[in-house]
Amino acid sequence: MIDFENVFILTQKELSEARRNRWFVLYTVAFAGLALALAWLALSGVGTYGLAGFGRTGASLINLVLLIIPLMGLTLGALGLAGERERGTLLYMLTQPISQAELLLGKFIGLALAILVALVLGFGLSGLLIAWQGGATQASDYLTLVLMAFALALASLSLGFLISAATAKSATAVGIALFLWLLLVFFGDLGLMGTALVLRLDVGQLFSLTLLNPLQLFKMAAILAIRSNLEVLGPGGIYAVRTYGSQLMIFLLAILLAWTAIPLTITYLIFRKRGVL
């Protein structure tokens, strides 16, 4: 049985430590500053402030989310267990009356909430700028984008925890996390196109290959929320809409959540087997 009081205490601890983590502060400031800059540029590009403000800014923020949020989740998750193990605090915490599941869950929820704060700050400041200039259209799509960005953050954080559980040194964990981030970012449109050409994949196989990248899942879901279609993504997007129809958004979010649940489950199994070693 999981004692949620212990989970709550560990969550508070992670939130407190996140505020003192220079990498988290740097990511938060960078995301908030760039989100504000993109909002201002998007509004300026309209010519007159207001029209399609939220939709235009949301579209410009997709690439920012694809770059910064996975990097934040992967690196913070990679340090979640490996850093504590290297400092010896993981052994100390497990001598307390808490289980490994409570420890893992508390750390994950705490870091997830910290990333959510960073997302709310970045999206909130840019949203206030848009609202201040009168751009109130497509606000619901903008909020949907925030929720999907958080889902991507959870998937990235879960992958980071998996790396952290499988490595002994924090430097090694961060190195693997950065390599995985580069792989996921650059194995995007160009990587998929190159793979499809070399292996001569049909459109169905290309879409299935897209599901193996949580960043591409977020991108498709975000574009679908803003544009209501995926024609901008070419044959793969058209195939997805025709195959899944109105259930496409639910399908994409379900796969994205699976990218959170499966790595986190494997992390728990590895952590239970290895313990603090």
pLDDT tens column, 111-139: 999 999 999 999 888 888 777 765 556 67
Q: What's the one-letter identity of residue 193?
A: M
Question: Helix, strand or coil for residue 95?
Answer: coil
Question: How far is CA 145 from each of CA 37, 127, 249, rounded to the nearest angstrom?
Answer: 18, 12, 12
Nearest partner of 43 among 58, 25, 30, 56, judged by Cα: 56
Tell me what pLDDT residue 244 has: 80
Burial class of 136 by CB neighbour count within 10 A (0 to 12, 13 to 18, 19+): exposed
Range of the domain at 104: 4-274
Which structure tokens are listed for 44?
């300026």
Do residues 226 and 58 touch, judged by C-beta distance below 8 A?
A: yes
Number of structural domains (the chain) is 1
For the chain, the C-alpha Rg in angstroms (whole number) is 20
Tell me what pLDDT residue 189 has: 62
Nearest partner of 263 among 154, 137, 144, judged by Cα: 154
Tell me what pLDDT residue 29 has: 93
d(CA 98, CA 166) in angstroms, rounded, equals 21
The DSSP code for 251 is H
Question: How far is CA 143 from each of CA 55, 131, 183, 227, rounded to the nearest angstrom?
Answer: 10, 13, 28, 14
Neighbours of 160 (CB within 10 A): 33
Q: Which residues of the chain have pLDDT under 50?
A: 47-52
Tell me what pLDDT residue 205 has: 75
Instruction: Name the pTM for this structure.
Output: 0.89
Which structure tokens are listed for 1?
């049985």
What are the pLDDT digits (tens) for 215-247?
Answer: 988 988 888 887 766 666 666 677 777 888 778
Tell me what pLDDT residue 190 has: 63
Tell how far CA 39 is from the center of its chain. 20
Neighbours of 2 (CB within 10 A): 12
Burial class of 101 by CB neighbour count within 10 A (0 to 12, 13 to 18, 19+): middle
